[in-house]
Homo-oligomer: A and B are copies of this chain.
Amino acid sequence: MSCSFGKKFRLTVFGQSHSKAIGAVIDGIPAGVRLDEEKIKALLSRRAPGKNAYSTKRREADEYEILSGTVDGMTCGAPLCAVIYNTDARSGDYEKLKTLPRPSHSDYAAYIKHHGFNDVRGGGNFSGRMTAPLCFAGAVAMQILESRGIYIGAHIKSIAGIEDRAFSPVDVSAAELENVKKKDFPVLDDEAGERMKAEIEKARAELDSVGGVIECAVTGLPAGIGEPMFDGVENVVSRAVFAVPAVKGIEFGLGFASSELRGSENNDPFTVSDGRVLTETNNSGGILGGITSGMPVIFRAAVKPTPSVGIEQGTVNLETNSPARLVTGGRHDPCIVPRAVPCIEAAAALAIINLM
C-alpha cells in the first residue's frame, strides 16, 4: 500500500474502517499557522455520513483529535498528526465478505493482494471512511492556500445524467465557490438539485444506487505553477483525485469534449485586461503544457454509482471457488456523490499545495 502523497506538504494516511482510529500525519506545514478549527470541522461535516435521507444511516461524529504538531493551537514545525476514533462500527455486518467478495468493491482485489489477510470489516483501508483524514489534511491545505488568495470549491455537476450548470471557466469567483459550499446539496441550480435528489431517492427505494460527476475549480492561482513532464498540474491533481474511492475518470478544461473540436475552436486566444494577460476562453482549464496559465483551474471527476446495492448479485465463494449469490447488507449511501464533493476539494488542495 502507498499511503503518502507529496513532498512539500507530505500527507500520510492510516487506518481502516473498523480499526481503533484513522488519521493523518502532515509533514511540511510551516510553523506559526494557527489552525482554523472551524474550517476543518466545516469540511469534515460536509463529508460526514448520516446527515440526511440520501446518505448512509451510519452516524459518526468524525471528531478529530490533534496528537502532535501544535503548541496552543499554532503549528510548531513538527509533523501534525490528527486522529479520528472509530466508534460506530458494527463489524458483524461484514463477516461473510471474507469469502463472498462484493461485486465492484475492493474485496476480491484486496484478498488476492494481501493473501487473505486483508481487513474486510467495512472495506478495511479501502473504505470511503479513509477520506476523512484526507479531508482533514485538505482543510489545513486550503487554509494555507486561502491565506495566499487561492480558493478551491466543487459542486455536483451531474447525478444519473441530470445536469447542473457549470462554473464559468473564465470568471468563477471565490465567493461563488464559498456560496455553494454552504448548501446542504451543493449544486449551482437548485431546481436541478431537486431532480437529482428525487433520482437518488428513487434508486434508494429500489435498493439501487446512482453515480455522478463533480466539477472543481481553483481560483487565484498565479501563472507558472506545475512541474512537467511528470509533475505537471494534470499529473499531480489526477494522482490525488484518484485516491478518492469510486472516481473512474478525470478531465481538465473541456476534456473529452475537446477531442471533438477543431483546434481553432478549442484554442484559447490570449488577451490583455487591466494589464494582465488572460485568455478569452478557458477550454484548457487553466493549464498550458502542464503549467498554470493564471486562469481558473477547472476539472471534473466521474464518480461511479455506489457498488453496495441491496439487489442480489453474482459473486464467487473464495473458499470453494464456486459461484454464489450475495445481497449486501450494512448501511450504505444510495449516492456517494454529495459526500464526495469535499473529498475532491481536499484532493485538489493537497495537489495544489504540493505544486507551489
> Which A residues contact B (CB, under 8 angstroms)?
1-5, 7, 10, 12-16, 19-23, 25, 27-28, 31-32, 65-71, 74-81, 83, 101, 103-110, 112-119, 121, 124-126, 130, 134, 158-161, 203, 208-213, 222-232, 234-236, 238-240, 242-243, 245, 247-256, 258-272, 275, 277, 279-280, 283-285, 287-294, 302-309, 311, 313-316, 318, 321-323
A-B contact list, 21 entries, CB within 8 Å: A1-B228, A4-B27, A31-B115, A32-B117, A71-B121, A74-B117, A76-B124, A77-B118, A77-B119, A104-B266, A161-B259, A208-B263, A210-B261, A211-B263, A236-B239, A238-B239, A249-B255, A263-B305, A264-B309, A272-B323, A275-B321
The interface residues of chain B lying within 8 Å CB-to-CB of A110 are: 77, 289, 291
Is B229's CB under 8 angstroms from A32's CB? no
Is B21's CB under 8 angstroms from A2's CB? no
A277 nearest CB neighbor, chain B only: B316
Is A209's CB under 8 angstroms from B263's CB? yes
The interface residues of chain B lying within 8 Å CB-to-CB of A264 are: 208-209, 309, 311, 313
The interface residues of chain B lying within 8 Å CB-to-CB of A254 are: 248, 304
Contacts A210-B263, A272-B316 aside, 18 further interface pairs with beta carbons under 8 A come to: A2-B227, A16-B69, A21-B67, A105-B289, A106-B290, A109-B290, A112-B294, A134-B229, A158-B260, A213-B259, A230-B243, A232-B243, A235-B243, A239-B239, A245-B289, A256-B302, A270-B315, A272-B321
Identical chains in the assembly: 4
Q: Bound state CA distance, A213 and B354, in angstroms?
A: 30
State the majority secondary structure of interface residues on A. Answer: mixed
The interface residues of chain B lying within 8 Å CB-to-CB of A307 are: 263, 266-267
Q: CB < 8 Å: which of B69, B118, B213, B251 contacts A76? A: B118
Q: CB < 8 Å: which of B4, B20, B65, B315 contacts A230? A: B4
Known contacts A1-B78, A230-B240, A252 near B248 by CB under 8 Å: yes
Known contacts A76-B117, A250-B250, A20 near B65 by CB under 8 Å: yes
